[in-house]
Amino acid sequence: MHLLHAKYMIFHEYFDEFPSYAIFSHIWGDEEVMMEDMLQERARSKKGFKKIDYCARQALKNDYDYI
C-alpha cells in the first residue's frame, strides 16, 4: 500500500504493517492529481492539488502523519 506523508508529500510503501492514516473521500473534478503527477512533481500545478493539500493539513491537525 502506498501512503502519502502528509507533511513532506512523499509516498511510502508498506507491505505488512501500516501506520495509522486518514482517508478522505472526494468527488472527481477538473485536473485531478494522480500518483504519477505526485512522483513527477507536477501535481502542484493542477487544480485538484488543493484537495490533497487540504487533506494533508487536516490529517496533521488530527495527528495523522499519512493519508
pLDDT, tens only, 12-63 = 999 999 999 999 887 888 899 999 999 998 999 999 999 999 999 999 999 9
> What is the model's pLDDT at position 10?
94
CA angle 15, 18, 52 (to 5 degrees): 105
* CA separation for the pair 48, 3 (Å, rounded): 18
CB 22 within 8 A of CB 59: yes
For the chain, the domains span: 2-61
> What is the model's pLDDT at position 50?
93
> What is the model's pLDDT at position 28?
84
